[in-house]
Each structure stands twice: as structure tokens, then as C-alpha cells.
């Protein structure tokens, strides 16, 4: 099972290798292969019922997701690379990665933002339609007009089962941390053209130490009680001056709303 997790990590590293090339060509700083939550503390899905494990068919967690309605889960587009509705499961109410509790639901449809190519180009958002309602409380997602959530210094909460240090082991238990939103100008300073302000928002301490990491991708960035971002990428984890990068959900909330409203016909499933 751990081999599977490593395979996913390798995939993520390969996926970001292309991004690194782009960044080397276009920006002074290279983007290293990104690597759950560094810093912070353990928590439970009881405390955060909207946090979902995205797993393979054998229920090995490889990404996070957020329940936004009984049958809709928001995650990262890059988490769905190579996946099909048959290859993934959404697990709610399972605090531990190796748990067998909670609710395992199959996926009827995967919508990936049609513009998505690689994390450093933006559009890193996907919506999964579940085959059955998830009996856990969803969280609201940000409205397109609610751009004040990204004011620099605003406290954001991240959650996930990812590694607790760069190149470290995945966490058995759900973890959470709070990180301040970083200004677009500062994030541009960190990542150059890899930072697409229209589609991304950064969060992290200038001194590092607290961050999302490998395996946290697709999980929530919650600001003011609403889903405001999706864990997407970053250079390593918890490094000084290299904040985590999240999909800027205000940009995509119209598209997400359309997906949340749509019910797949039987032939699509
Ligand atoms: C990842 O590979 C990943 N430090 C997630 C978040 C960050 C880096 C990598 C941000 O899933």
C-alpha cells in the first residue's frame, strides 16, 4: 500500500517536472517537485466533516477533497490526471488514513476544468459527482464577489492527510493548520510567472514551518468558514519564502456552481 502512495508521489513529481522546466525558462526561481500538513496539529473528520479522502478503488488515499453539497466534491484537477470514475472513491468521516470507518462512495462523473494543463498554468479545479449522497455536512464555497477573503494576512485553514515534512511520510491522522494569506505581489516574488494571480492565491508564513505538503493536494483552504481555495502546489513544503499555492476559488465559483447544480443523465454515468 505504501508503494502505491509512493507511486502517486512519483506521479506528482513527474507532473511538476514539466512545471519546473516552464519556471526555469520563464522565471528566476525553479519550482521543485512539490511535496499533508506540515506544522499544525491532528484533528478529526468529526470536527471537519466536509473534508474527504480521495482514494483509489482499494481505498488508498492520494488526495483530499471538499464536500460542497450531498453529492458534489471539489478537488484539484491535477488529482484527477489519469483517473476515471471507476478508478476513484470518495471517503467521508474517516479520520485515519488506514481506517475502515466512514462512508465510501463511488463517483459517477469527473468534471475537470477544461483549461487545465499543469498546476503552474492555473485552472486546477475539478468537481466529482457522487453516486450516492454523502451523509456528512458540506461547507459553503466562496461566491465570486467575495474577493475580500484573500486580503493579505487573513487567516486560512488547511486540512489533509499529506506528509508532515517535505519528502516525509504521510500522516495517518487528518491534520490541520492555519496559515496567513500572502499578497499576490509577494507570491509573484516567490514564484515569478508560475504564479497566476487570476487563478491562484498563496498562503504561508514568511519564515515557513507551516504548510500543506504532498498528499494534501485537492483538499480545502477554508477562510471565514467558506471554501476559498484548493491545495494545488508549491516549491517543496514549509520553506521560508515559498508559500503554498491554492486555486483561487472565487475565479471558479461560477463554474463550480454550474457543476453543483448539474445532475448527470444516466448515460453519462
Ligand atoms: C503536493 O504534492 C503538494 N507546499 C501540495 C502542497 C504543496 C506542495 C506539494 C505546498 O500534493
Rounded-to-integer distance, Cα 106 and Cα 231, Å: 22
Rounded-to-integer distance, Cα 98 and Cα 111, Å: 28
Distance (Å) from CA 74 to ligand 1 centroid: 17
Q: What is the DSSP letter of 261?
A: H
Instruction: Give the pLDDT of residue 266.
Output: 56
- Cβ atoms of residues 229 and 220 within 8 Å: yes
Distance (Å) from CA 237 to ligand 1 centroid: 7
Rounded-to-integer distance, Cα 256 and Cα 216, Å: 20
For ligand 1, say whether the CB of 36 is within 6 Å of any of its atoms: no
Instruction: Give the pLDDT of residue 26.
Output: 36
Distance (Å) from CA 85 to ligand 1 centroid: 24
List, in order, residues 6 or more apart from 197 with CB less than 8 Å away: 184, 187, 188, 248
Distance (Å) from CA 235 to ligand 1 centroid: 8
Distance (Å) from CA 82 to ligand 1 centroid: 19
Question: Rounded to 5 degrees, what are φ and ψ at 6?
Answer: -65, -40
Nearest CA to 172 out of 44, 259, 268, 32 is that of 44
Cα four-point dihedral sign 47, 49, 52, 58 = positive
Instruction: Give the pLDDT of residue 93.
Output: 98
Judge whether 136 counts as a catalytic residue: no
Neighbours of 7 (CB within 10 A): 13
Q: From the CA of 239, give the closest atom in ligand 1.
A: 4
Q: Look at ligand 1, atom 8, and give the residue with the nearest C-alpha.
A: 34
Judge whether 113 counts as a catalytic residue: no
List, in order, residues 6 or more apart from 62 with CB less than 8 Å away: 4, 5, 8, 54, 55, 56, 79, 215
Rounded-to-integer distance, Cα 34 and Cα 234, Å: 6
For ligand 1, say whether the CB of 164 is within 6 Å of any of its atoms: no
- Cβ atoms of residues 213 and 238 within 8 Å: yes
Task: Encode burial over 245-269: b for 16+ CB neighbours within 10 A, e otherwise.
Answer: bbbbbbbbbebbeebbeeeeeeeee
- Indicate which residue of 123, 124, 184, 216 is catalytic: 124
Q: Which of 163, 214, 218, 235 to mutate to test the pocket of ligand 1 (most atoms within 8 A of CB)?
A: 214
Rounded-to-integer distance, Cα 253 and Cα 40, Å: 28
List per-residue pLDDT tens for the chain, 269 residues long. Answer: 232 222 333 334 334 433 333 333 333 344 433 334 789 999 999 999 999 999 999 999 999 999 999 999 999 999 999 999 999 999 999 999 999 999 999 999 999 999 999 999 999 999 999 999 999 999 999 999 999 999 999 999 999 999 999 999 889 999 999 999 999 999 999 999 999 999 999 999 999 999 999 999 999 999 999 999 999 999 999 999 999 999 999 999 999 999 999 976 654 54
The cell for 257 is 456552481
Q: From the CA of 245, give the closest atom in ligand 1.
A: 10
Rounded-to-integer distance, Cα 55 and Cα 64, Å: 9
Task: Encode burial over 114-141: b for 16+ CB neighbours within 10 A, e otherwise.
Answer: eebebbbbbbbbbbbbbbeebebebbeb
Q: How far does CA 261 lie from the centroid of its chain?
A: 21
For ligand 1, say whether the CB of 234 is within 6 Å of any of its atoms: yes
Q: What is the pLDDT of residues 132-154, one digit of tens each?
A: 999 999 999 999 999 999 999 99
Q: Which domains does the chain have, with CATH numbers?
A: 1-261 (2.40.10.10)
Instruction: Give the pLDDT of residue 263.
Output: 79
Judge whether 148 counts as a catalytic residue: no
Amino acid at each position: 500500500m505504501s508503494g502505491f502512495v509512493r507511486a502517486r508521489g512519483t506521479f506528482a513529481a513527474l507532473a511538476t517536472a514539466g512545471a519546473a522546466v516552464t519556471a526555469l525558462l520563464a522565471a528566476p526561481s525553479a519550482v521543485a517537485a512539490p511535496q499533508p500538513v506540515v506544522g499544525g496539529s491532528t484533528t478529526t473528520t468529526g470536527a471537519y466533516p466536509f473534508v474527504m479522502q480521495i482514494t483509489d478503488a482499494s481505498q488508498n488515499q492520494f488526495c483530499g477533497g471538499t464536500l460542497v453539497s450531498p453529492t458534489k466534491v471539489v478537488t484539484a484537477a491535477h488529482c484527477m490526471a489519469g483517473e476515471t470514475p471507476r478508478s476513484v472513491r470518495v471517503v467521508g468521516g474517516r479520520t485515519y488514513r488506514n481506517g475502515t470507518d466512514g462512508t465510501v462512495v463511488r463517483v459517477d462523473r469527473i468534471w475537470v476544468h477544461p483549461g487545465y494543463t499543469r498546476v503552474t498554468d492555473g485552472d486546477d479545479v475539478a468537481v466529482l459527482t457522487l453516486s450516492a449522497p454523502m451523509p456528512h455536512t458540506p461547507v459553503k464555497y466562496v461566491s465570486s464577489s467575495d474577493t475580500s477573503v484573500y486580503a493579505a494576512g487573513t487567516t486560512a485553514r488547511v486540512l489533509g492527510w499529506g506528509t508532515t515534512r517535505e519528502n516525509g511520510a504521510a500522516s495517518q491522522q487528518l491534520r490541520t493548520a492555519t496559515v496567513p494569506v500572502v499578497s499576490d505581489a509577494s507570491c509573484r516574488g516567490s514564484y515569478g510567472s508560475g504564479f497566476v494571480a487570476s487563478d491562484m492565491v498563496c498562503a504561508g508564513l514568511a519564515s515557513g514551518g507551516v504548510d500543506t505538503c504532498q498528499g494534501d493536494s485537492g483538499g480545502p483552504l477554508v477562510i471565514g468558514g467558506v471554501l476559498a481555495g484548493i491545495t494545488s502546489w508549491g516549491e517543496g513544503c514549509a520553506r521560508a519564502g515559498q508559500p503554498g499555492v491554492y486555486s483561487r476559488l472565487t475565479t471558479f465559483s461560477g463554474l463550480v456552481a454550474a457543476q453543483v447544480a448539474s445532475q448527470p443523465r444516466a448515460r453519462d454515468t
